Amino acid sequence: MIRKTRLFTPGPTPLLPAAQFAMAAADIHHRTPEFRALYTRVLAQLKEFVGTSNDVILLSSSGSGAMEASVSNLTSPGDRVLVLSAGKFGERWTGIAKSFGCEIDLVSEPYGQTFDMEKVKAALKPDTRVVYMQANETSTGTQHDVKAVAQLLKDTNSEALLVVDGITGLGTSTLDMDDWGIDVLIGGSQKAVMIPPGLSYLAISERAWARMESTKNPRYYFDLRKERKNAVKGESAYTPAVALIAALGAAFDWIAAQAATTDNPAGNLVEGRKKLVHNAEVISEMTRAAMVALGFKLFTESPGSAATAVYAPEGVDSGLVVKELKSRFAAIITNGQGEMKGQIFRIAHLGYFDYMDMIALIGAIEQVVVKSIPQLKASFGDGLIAAQKVYAERTA
């Protein structure tokens, strides 16, 4: 049988064809009027996609670079910060903050769980300078309550800035930066915007910009003030990833076109973003329903729409599902990370995934289950029927 490789991973995600074409044609020098026009347009589109009136800075780095920038620019050695950690990427915040000499207070929950606001409130100190957290902990498929944390900071009159890793949250869930009071919201190119790795972006509040003027940690390439200053001129501080920026503009055009109307055939990026989120929500619900119908147990009680994490049955290494999907169907899903490797597998829903993709993957998982995991006692069609019912209900 012919096997067509398909990514179902939470990053990199499948590439948008229009973005690939844009990259191929992006033979532009970055200190020219042509590039300045492109860069200015993409930065404006980023504000619409994030949904903010704040300035958005674009970096040539992975999302981890933007995470580091949000520590180096907003803290001084010895500053007290609060990290909310419940997975591999929450642990990354701790590692970065430690590298820059911060005093770390930690609210840590087991993988797959989310945060009790009373514990967060108890850990918040009068001298806490920044709170760092994830919107979606992709290592576990868990969605955290960013709005509740933001409201807690308001209710306690805390001076702490709220920094949110929205790398897999943007485009898969509702994140209202301005209304909730998020100070820095981070995104990445290889996620819901459907282009290759290599770009990260940060939407930054005026409170956070003001904080940068007094902080003392070293920064050079990741000096966000340099990027803001140059962005006004339509330039980046250093050589940008030109082809990726062209791809990002094409992706935003495509997302906007999903909300095209007769009166506005180019579409609307704000409405297109909402459709992108709705798509992720529907196919994630389809997947969760299918996995339960096949006899699997879901890993988290607070699932997000970026990825679904599923326990392997007792006595079965989750790598079995990962390996059989790849060897038999060229479908790429991911194993668990950190302490959950071998215990869970993860299926992504962010970006360029649709109904047909998920139906095909669920059918392939049924083949793996019936052949290799007989203890689940599943039959062909169990997962597909459950997914079909969800799709019918959510798109009626």
Annotated binding site: 346
185, 293 Cβ separation under 8 angstroms:
no
Q: Based on DSSP, count helices (H) and strands (E) in the chain, helices before strands.
A: 14, 15
| Environment class of 196 (CB within 10 Å of its CB; exposed 0-12, middle 13-18, buried 19+) | middle
Type of residue numbered 57:
I
311, 334 Cβ separation under 8 angstroms:
no
330, 3 Cβ separation under 8 angstroms:
yes
In DSSP notation, 304-340 reads: -SSEEEEEPPTT--THHHHHHHHHHH-EE-EE--GGG
Binding residue positions for substrate: 346
Instruction: Count CB-CB contacts under 10 A for residue 24.
Output: 11
> What backbone torsions phi and psi does residue 208 show, to the nearest 5 degrees?
-70, -40
Nearest Cα residue to 92 out of 41, 141, 132: 132
The CA-to-CA distance between both ends of the chain, in Å, stands at 35
Q: In whole angstroms, how far apart are CA 31 and each of 26, 149, 224, 235? A: 14, 42, 20, 7
Q: In whole angstroms, how far apart are CA 152 and each of 70, 98, 141? A: 21, 25, 24
Q: Strand pairing partners for 7?
A: 332
Ramachandran category for residue 381: left, alpha or beta (phi over 0 → left; psi -120 to 50 → alpha): left
339, 371 Cβ separation under 8 angstroms:
no
CA dihedral sign, ordered 183, 188, 191, 195:
positive
Element (H, E) at 186: strand 184-188
What would the two tokens of residue 262 be? 């007769």
Sheet holding 297-298, edge to edge: 297-298, 307-311, 344-348, 334-335
